[in-house]
Structure 1
Amino acid sequence: MSSAQDHLASGQDDVRNGNLVPSGQAEPATKGRSTRLMHSRLGTPLHHERDMRVICIGAGASGLCFAYKLQRSFEKFSLIVYEKNAEVSGTWYENKYPGCACDVPAHNYTYSWEPKLDWTAVYAGSAEINKYFNDFAVKNGLHKYCKVNHQVVGARWDDKKGHWEVQITDLKTGNIVNDQCDILINAAGILNAWKWPDLPGLSEYKGKLLHSANWDDTVELEGKHVGLIGNGSSGIQILPAIQPKVASLTTFIRNPTWVSPVQGLEQHVYSEQEKDDFKNKPGHLLEYRKQNETALDTLIELFMANSQAQKDTRVLMTDQMKEKLGNDFLAQKLIPQWGVGCRRLTPGINYLETLTAHNVKVVCGEIEVVTDKGCLCDDGKEYPLDVLICATGFDTSFRPRFPIVGLNGVDLREQWSKESLGYLGIAAANIPNYFVFLGPSCPIGNGPVISAIEAQADYMLMFCDRWQTENIRSFAPKQEAVDDFVEFTDDYMKKTVWDEECRSWYKNNSSSARVSALWPGSSLHYMEF
């Protein structure tokens, strides 16, 4: 695979009557003065910085990281971060369902330069993570760039003017705001557009309907018969959190999944002594973070099909799941036949043990239709419910949720309508001066995701620097670069468990589609690349 630099398609601007225009256009006649002397950058120091306007979509972990690094290292820029929510923090502001937590150890779910000394546990809850990112924004004065309650609804590249025209809805007034920028950064995130399950009759249900990503905390669960659809990360967290409160809980499980923490990274509430050591013992926290990150970064061997690590881990996790379930029938239904890691691994704290609680019923199979009373399943039984919780995830197709129109009227939604074929997890052909955080084929499941976000921000800012200091009008990956990268990625995926037949959002919630979400290698490989 050739290098990213080789595949950069950058329009080096030529002199045209003192104006900067794309290369390849005809040279007009000039009188008297050499066009060389009329160049707008002549008479300025080498690498002189021109003014740069940047719009960033989203103020979650990615958007705040970008804003911090831009502020720290650049001058002569203006930045605005449009955030649709009322506060920053992205998914950690939005997701408030019972038991909501990160499945990455908290001390490694921080920016590398901004540790938090007092995390309460190995896996922190959403409120604690939300506070971390809010505090980070306050500490570094990032709110001055953020315009909350403003949702980007469209962006179009003007190739004549060499900039983006962006449309934003003020969610408080409903008014449309028009803005422009030289560089457009999409930090909206992949796990952001939640969706209802595609089940017949869902709209006919007369009880209370909830979605994990749009939680209504005014709904009372105490004493109710509650149904839970889904056994992905959200469903696995919700079940043990609500089980003690409800009268009865019926969980509907369509597919098996591996549930167990990585060895050495089991859930643990930190003692006051441990937190004091993190704060006051020189080098202690840094060493702990390094150990965790090493464990996460070296998981790549586990994800290789037929590797010894895969075989050993499969035996270990099978034994652990059987022990925690203590039920042969459930073990047969819930332990997968496909490899460990084909679906995203989750720690599953107290999930398996709770499945056999006195007030929990497990229904394995398909829901054929949702009735006005509850769920009718393929076992022929109807399960009446007071409350139905859908922990059914997000649209993970990577397709933008609004028009992003690039060169020659190409809309990225259409370009990615069948397959989201991007470049290095950050860019797309035909879309100039545009970067996306955690785009297709990024290391979102290969290791610590914040490290990947930092690497992506650095890469984006490298090109922002080139745009600001060189005669670059626009840049985008060539189609041949995208094709080369996709071919390399697809070939790599054939060697991994991710390519096995399991339903996963790594494959756009399909069991047999192309692995579109993950980087072809380890997270360390991504950062080195």
Structure 2
Amino acid sequence: MADFVLPQLHRRAHWGGADDVRRRRGAPIHSERHVKIICIGAGASGLLFAYKLQRSFRNFDLTVYEKNEEVAGTWWENNPGCACDVPAHNYTWSFEPKLDWSAVYAGSGEIFNYFHHFAKKYSLRKYCKTHHQVIGATWNNTRGGYDVVVQHTATRETFSDYCDILINAGGILNAWRWPAIPGLDKYKGTLVHTANWDGNVDLTGKHVGLIGNGSSGIQVLPTIQPHVQKVTTFIREPTYVSPVQGLEQHVFTPQELHDFANRPGSLLQYRKQVETGLNGQFSLFLKGSSTQDDTRAYMIGQMKQKLNNKLLEDKLIPSWSLGCRRLTPGVGYLESLTKENVEVVYGGIKEITEKGCLCENDQEYPVDVLICATGFDTTFKPRFPLIGPSGSNLQDEWVNEPKSYFGLAAADFPNYLIFLGPNCPIGNGPVLSAIEVQADWMLAVIDRYQTSNIHSIAPKREAVDDFVAWKDEFMKSTVWADPCRSWYKANQADAPVTALWPGSTLHYIEALTEVRWDDLEVKYNSNRFTWLGNGFSQCESDPTADWAYYIREYDDQEYQSRGRRREILTRSGTITERAGAVNFTGNTELHANL
């Protein structure tokens, strides 16, 4: 497929301040000023933003600074056993399916290839500067944008750049961290982290220690277990581990792959079935719901069957509600715990010694290689000083509790937009759908900025406070408020839920359908109506346009009510039954009748 790029028509010099006012007065209504954008991170979100900006906009300059040597973010960085806990065919952009996923749950290599191909197909690499990391940004009130400090990760040289709009697409599962255990620097064996994997480490025949039973640890154990002499896995607390019914791991057969590629509608039908199931899971997270009770009972039964060990069952199956911590399919994990070369040590680690781990049972466990599957910094603070108009640093503002506007922006930090910020749906359903609607919301804001004489845009403080208050009240009815330690709550058992949206992913998509301008503080370079320009329309400035475009034979105008527009968009009335959809409590087999 050929690259889709809008022609760069009417390219102008950067408009700012008095220049913006002067040029707008002599130009047609809604004239597009040149806008300079910096995006931090070329992972999934950054690449999608570049694609959507390129597809719809002109007269812009975009630079995507990426600290790694490659694009795709976490899927470039992580360990060989890393996989996604979302079905692969639905871990794609809605408009960009992949025909040849090998299995329902794909590994990091396949996922990296998907995003790498996406960047290549649409020529997005021309915007990306790899080996470059943003280390600071300061609001420039005169120009109405940010002065950005960038460092080359190899040479350590720094330079300054400027942007009108700053996009943070750095991700949340990206800034990995060592465990906060004393003595880590004393260990004399081989020390590795799952999120910064050293491909030169050979585990064959080694005694390996594995710290952590979150998503990373659960993925690593079955990957390394067949190849090592022994694994001692250190588990501090229980967690639910099992594919949800109807979404078990499945390797696609040659016939299925053939049908996906050659039977029109086959893959689309499958993707819609899975997405419907993912979108149908939200009641699982509501306390006391039948979905919660039924699915929890099913999950516990599956764990007991796979463990078949009363001691492990007592230690590993939680008492709190299903979904309080992020669910993981854990393909092969529970079975690996029962293997002869796997030793499970339950409880905390007091300190790391030269040889291995000294645990709370006062026993030392020597290991040749120590793998830390201890997660990421999920505090949502920017990983660089971000200085706003008042001189305050967002890192300090969010040190105790990050408070955002719909996971998109922060009060008092204008022209700064965030992918997957605090309280967005990263555990509520299909996440890439949420990223797409976030990009669309951002571009609607940028469109308004580009076609008017706006100086700055930021959410109002009272809007953020009202949203946080609404969110906190809603969360009381969810399982996320249960007393489990979760990165949803800054890895605390009793803390505000700062990572998740107060509703389903479909709820989030509908909430972001329009920009609520009354929630935003908008400041202008001059009279707010300067965008009206010289009295001519954009239509009249285009000799190839139809100057009577509104004259027609029948009324095909978009409906004016939100309800009617939603019915058209969601094809209301076309689904009479949910046959084949995953309901997360039934026995629907997704892989039949493709």
Shift of residue 264, structure 1, vs aligned partner: 1.1
Cα distance between partner residues in 1 of 2:91 and 2:507: 19
Classify the secondary structure of the residue corresponding to 1:244. helix
Q: Check if 1:62 corresponds to 2:45.
A: yes
The residue type equivalent to 1:167 in the other structure is V
Corresponding residue for residue 31 of structure 1: none
Corresponding residue for residue 463 of structure 1: 445
**Aligned ranges 1:124-523 → 2 under 5 Å:** 124-523=106-505
Cα distance between partner residues in 1 of 2:202 and 2:106: 24
Are the counterparts in 2 of residues 221 and 246 from structure 1 also a CA contact under 8 Å? yes
Cα distance between partner residues in 2 of 1:56 and 1:69: 13
**Aligned ranges 1:10-89 → 2 under 5 Å:** 18=18, 39-89=22-72
- Deviation string for 1:286-322 (max 9, x for gaps)? 1111111111111110000111111111111111100
Cα distance between partner residues in 1 of 2:122 and 2:180: 43
Classify the secondary structure of the residue corresponding to 1:203. helix
Cα distance between partner residues in 2 of 1:171 and 1:195: 19
Cα distance between partner residues in 1 of 2:162 and 2:294: 54
Shift of residue 370, structure 1, vs aligned partner: 1.1
Shift of residue 75, structure 1, vs aligned partner: 0.6
Classify the secondary structure of the residue corresponding to 1:209. strand
Shift of residue 39, structure 1, vs aligned partner: 4.3
Shift of residue 98, structure 1, vs aligned partner: 3.4
Are the counterparts in 1 of residues 212 and 234 from structure 2 also a CA contact under 8 Å? yes
Shift of residue 17, structure 1, vs aligned partner: 9.9
Cα distance between partner residues in 1 of 2:74 and 2:357: 29
The residue type equivalent to 2:380 in the other structure is F
Shift of residue 18, structure 1, vs aligned partner: 4.5
Are the counterparts in 2 of residues 98 and 237 from structure 1 also a CA contact under 8 Å? no
Shift of residue 173, structure 1, vs aligned partner: 2.3
Cα distance between partner residues in 1 of 2:136 and 2:40: 11
The residue type equivalent to 1:67 in the other structure is A
Shift of residue 172, structure 1, vs aligned partner: 2.8
Shift of residue 519, structure 1, vs aligned partner: 0.4
Shift of residue 380, structure 1, vs aligned partner: 1.9
Classify the secondary structure of the residue corresponding to 1:501. coil
Cα distance between partner residues in 2 of 1:312 and 1:138: 45
Are the counterparts in 2 of residues 98 and 242 from structure 1 also a CA contact under 8 Å? no
Shift >6 Å, 4+ stretches? none
Are the counterparts in 1 of residues 17 and 143 from structure 2 also a CA contact under 8 Å? no
Classify the secondary structure of the residue corresponding to 1:498. helix
Are the counterparts in 2 of residues 79 and 145 from structure 1 also a CA contact under 8 Å? yes
Q: 1:120 to 1:17 in 2, by over 3 A?
A: closer
The residue type equivalent to 2:362 in the other structure is G
Cα distance between partner residues in 2 of 1:71 and 1:77: 9
Cα distance between partner residues in 1 of 2:18 and 2:428: 49
Uncovered stretches (5+) of structure 2, i.e. residues with no partner: 1-15, 512-594
Q: Check if 1:111 corresponds to 2:100.
A: no
Cα distance between partner residues in 2 of 1:18 and 1:400: 32
Cα distance between partner residues in 2 of 1:241 and 1:40: 61
Classify the secondary structure of the residue corresponding to 1:151. strand
Shift of residue 142, structure 1, vs aligned partner: 0.5
- Share of identical aligned residues, percent? 63
Cα distance between partner residues in 1 of 2:494 and 2:389: 32
Cα distance between partner residues in 1 of 2:341 and 2:266: 43
Corresponding residue for residue 519 of structure 2: none
Bigger mean CA offset, 330-339 vs 38-47:
38-47
- Deviation string for 1:133-165 (max 9, x for gaps)? 111111101011001101000011111221110
Cα distance between partner residues in 2 of 1:314 and 1:132: 33
Are the counterparts in 2 of residues 54 and 183 from structure 1 also a CA contact under 8 Å? yes
TM-score under structure 2 normalisation? 0.82
- Deviation string for 1:204-231 (max 9, x for gaps)? 1111111101111211211111110000
Cα distance between partner residues in 2 of 1:447 and 1:470: 36
Supply the RMSD in Å over aligned alpha carbons.
1.2
Cα distance between partner residues in 1 of 2:17 and 2:186: 66
Are the counterparts in 1 of residues 80 and 108 from structure 2 also a CA contact under 8 Å? no
Are the counterparts in 1 of residues 173 and 378 from structure 2 also a CA contact under 8 Å? yes
Corresponding residue for residue 11 of structure 1: none
Are the counterparts in 2 of residues 501 and 512 from structure 1 also a CA contact under 8 Å? yes
- Deviation string for 1:399-438 (max 9, x for gaps)? 1111111121121101101110111011001110010100
Cα distance between partner residues in 2 of 1:358 and 1:147: 48
Are the counterparts in 1 of residues 183 and 351 from structure 2 also a CA contact under 8 Å? yes
Uncovered stretches (5+) of structure 1, i.e. residues with no partner: 1-15, 21-37
The residue type equivalent to 1:75 in the other structure is R
Are the counterparts in 1 of residues 244 and 299 from structure 2 also a CA contact under 8 Å? no
Corresponding residue for residue 94 of structure 1: 77
Cα distance between partner residues in 2 of 1:98 and 1:376: 28
Shift of residue 44, structure 1, vs aligned partner: 1.0
Corresponding residue for residue 7 of structure 1: none
Cα distance between partner residues in 1 of 2:315 and 2:346: 7
Cα distance between partner residues in 2 of 1:63 and 1:270: 30
The residue type equivalent to 1:44 in the other structure is A
Shift of residue 19, structure 1, vs aligned partner: 5.7
Classify the secondary structure of the residue corresponding to 2:267. helix
Q: How many residues align?
A: 496
Shift of residue 510, structure 1, vs aligned partner: 1.2
The residue type equivalent to 2:346 in the other structure is C
Shift of residue 40, structure 1, vs aligned partner: 3.4
TM-score under structure 1 normalisation? 0.92
Are the counterparts in 2 of residues 54 and 77 from structure 1 also a CA contact under 8 Å? yes
